[in-house]
Structure 1
């Protein structure tokens, strides 16, 4: 009897890597953690591959491994959040760095999961939107897994029960509770424009121009009146266009030329990598709607610029 080799394993499992990365990201809210968890998933799958007897599809077998790897990973850790998940909005004031025990949500570069492969459709851009990912982190981990397996990945209740090692009845009740909890933390999901939509690109261009020219007035044409502004690693965040613009103008924008922003996409949304005085500074993600930008989330982390495939300096 010939044992399966690496080439056969790669042929059978490799095509699922991108969608497994998206799944792990939805579970844990961190792109880098998701990468590590996918690596662990494939390591475990390789070790068990010789005993895989095809009682389920390769895809559902991999999801069983990946989901349980994620459940083990999140069990001892506090959930990842955005500032808006900690407390209500504050007035314009000096922002203070959050305590070190807060674990922040991270953006996901679209390039990590999307290419010309038709199978990428399985990933589902809408299921990676920042607001949804933030909301998912408020669910107990098993409820989060049930919701994702059933409603994002379209596994049946029986398949989900097999993946999680539970009963169909437990899956159905868990899904009901997960839906109810998610509607509490994200009651009205917004209809966001695709980044390729000319309206979304115009809003992103306006935001980029406002920073690069240090012209806060341009933001009047970009932000909705009810827009929100938040940035990690700061607890304070703003709600309402006037407060958002006041904070940016007085504490952030500086002089013309201080900032350079280069368009990209993250979480299926319009985004930009950010440089401050020529050095990598982080990534900003916009929620673009037909009426304007409803939220701006800035991730202050220079390492993210490289993760999105850009150089450390703006040249």
Structure 2
């Protein structure tokens, strides 16, 4: 009996699976690096903030390192880490309000004759620089894991009308193409709960995300429109700006809660409230965000220096520029690797 008791631990050790070597945080980060842009895009869709998304990528890496000893390859690495990222986002969003654009606040179009006033108490939706999502700064549908439509500004703004759980379910099912039982396991829901949540999320999204306006039929016409738009602003030619806008253009300017509809209304807004006074007061640099063009506007100040003023996310169509979301906040320029001021010409 004593000999048998002595042999049992030896047999148990012999039958035990080999222990996974302890992984360092650097090991896990290197393993996940090929998925980094996808994880960033997912966290951005969930939160609507480039700042929060970058922080949540780091939180995902930290959680993955802590949990790596339990990863037994029962699912793909991609599925495992997106489960971690999604739950990190849900934790982050607890008790937080959604990030809207001005058009998402429910108020009617504003009168451009009245001075717009910023609303500091709202955390606004932020643009996501293309350079953070695609290695060459341009989405290639044939080669890139993050599609342009999945980070389209109007789509991300519409997601903000969903609850955090609805966002998670819709993104996992419709963007990442997970099966319902995978989503249920990731979010601690039943399959029936996932399906009902998805149905509600899709219905709400259809109400707040209208069909994307048609794009220009070719790149050259699109580039020509943007060149003319830049030239009109730099010349401070309000009439030319109005001519380049679609008749029913929508113009919004977070952190200002007001928004405007119609080319004439936008022309009045610019004429009355833009601090520019003459040609040369404004200069623009092209960049891109959310898979669409962005024009960084620098305003000349009293000392003659052009400083960061706003980022205009523009939607060009065959009818002209159909939508402009002008993001104020010089801190956003740093995310686009844009200088805070421009040298003299």
Report the TM-score range of the alignment, normalised by the length of the smaller protein.
over 0.9
The answer on whether the counterparts of 1:20 and 1:38 sit within 8 Å (CA) in structure 2 is: yes
The answer on whether the counterparts of 1:19 and 1:120 sit within 8 Å (CA) in structure 2 is: no
Between the aligned partners of 1:80 and 1:95, the Cα distance in structure 2 is 23
Between the aligned partners of 2:326 and 2:248, the Cα distance in structure 1 is 17
- Alpha-carbon spacing, 1:159–1:257, altered in 2? closer, same or farther (3 Å): same
DSSP 3-state at the match of 2:195: helix
For residue 308 of structure 2, the aligned residue among 280, 283, 293 is 280
Identify the residue that residue 83 of structure 2 maps to in structure 1. 64
Question: 5 Å matches for 1:71-150?
Answer: 71-86=90-105, 87-115=107-135, 121-150=144-173
Instruction: Give the alignment's Cα RMSD to 1 decimal.
Output: 2.0
Query: Could you list the per-position Cα deviations for residues 13-40 of structure 1 after superposition, in whole angstroms to 9, with x for gaps in the alignment?
Result: 1111111100111111110111001111
DSSP 3-state at the match of 1:53: coil
The answer on whether the counterparts of 2:90 and 2:164 sit within 8 Å (CA) in structure 1 is: yes
- Alpha-carbon spacing, 1:15–1:183, altered in 2? closer, same or farther (3 Å): same
Query: Could you list the per-position Cα deviations for residues 42-94 of structure 1 after superposition, in whole angstroms to 9, with x for gaps in the alignment?
Result: 11111111221111111111111111111111121111111111111111123
Deviation at 1:100, TM superposition (A): 2.7
Between the aligned partners of 1:191 and 1:165, the Cα distance in structure 2 is 40
DSSP 3-state at the match of 2:144: helix
Identify the residue that residue 291 of structure 2 maps to in structure 1. 268
Deviation at 1:177, TM superposition (A): 0.6
Between the aligned partners of 2:143 and 2:194, the Cα distance in structure 1 is 26
- Alpha-carbon spacing, 1:95–1:20, altered in 2? closer, same or farther (3 Å): farther
The answer on whether the counterparts of 1:18 and 1:120 sit within 8 Å (CA) in structure 2 is: no
Between the aligned partners of 1:42 and 1:169, the Cα distance in structure 2 is 31
Deviation at 1:279, TM superposition (A): 0.7
Between the aligned partners of 1:250 and 1:7, the Cα distance in structure 2 is 54
Deviation at 1:147, TM superposition (A): 1.0
Q: Which has the larger radius of gyration?
A: 2
The answer on whether the counterparts of 1:95 and 1:234 sit within 8 Å (CA) in structure 2 is: no
4+ runs deviating over 6 angstroms = 117-120
In structure 1, stretches of 5+ residues that fail to align are none
Identify the residue that residue 238 of structure 1 maps to in structure 2. 260
Tell me: higher relative CO, structure 1 or 2? Use CA pairs within 8 A at least 6 residues apart: 1
DSSP 3-state at the match of 1:282: strand
Identify the residue that residue 249 of structure 1 maps to in structure 2. 271
Deviation at 1:187, TM superposition (A): 3.2
Identify the residue that residue 233 of structure 2 maps to in structure 1. 211
The answer on whether the counterparts of 2:249 and 2:262 sit within 8 Å (CA) in structure 1 is: yes
Identify the residue that residue 339 of structure 2 maps to in structure 1. 311
- Alpha-carbon spacing, 1:120–1:308, altered in 2? closer, same or farther (3 Å): farther
Report the TM-score when normalising by structure 1: 0.94
Between the aligned partners of 2:294 and 2:120, the Cα distance in structure 1 is 26
Deviation at 1:193, TM superposition (A): 5.2
Between the aligned partners of 1:138 and 1:254, the Cα distance in structure 2 is 39
Identify the residue that residue 12 of structure 2 maps to in structure 1. none
Query: Could you list the per-position Cα deviations for residues 217-267 of structure 1 after superposition, in whole angstroms to 9, with x for gaps in the alignment?
Result: 222342100001110111111101110111112221431111111011111
Residue-pair matches, total:
314
Question: 5 Å matches for 1:167-206?
Answer: 167-192=190-215, 197-206=219-228
Identify the residue that residue 291 of structure 1 maps to in structure 2. 319
The answer on whether the counterparts of 1:201 and 1:270 sit within 8 Å (CA) in structure 2 is: no
Report the TM-score when normalising by structure 2: 0.86
In structure 2, stretches of 5+ residues that fail to align are 1-18, 301-305
The answer on whether the counterparts of 1:12 and 1:58 sit within 8 Å (CA) in structure 2 is: no
The answer on whether the counterparts of 2:169 and 2:194 sit within 8 Å (CA) in structure 1 is: yes
- Alpha-carbon spacing, 1:101–1:133, altered in 2? closer, same or farther (3 Å): same
DSSP 3-state at the match of 1:280: strand
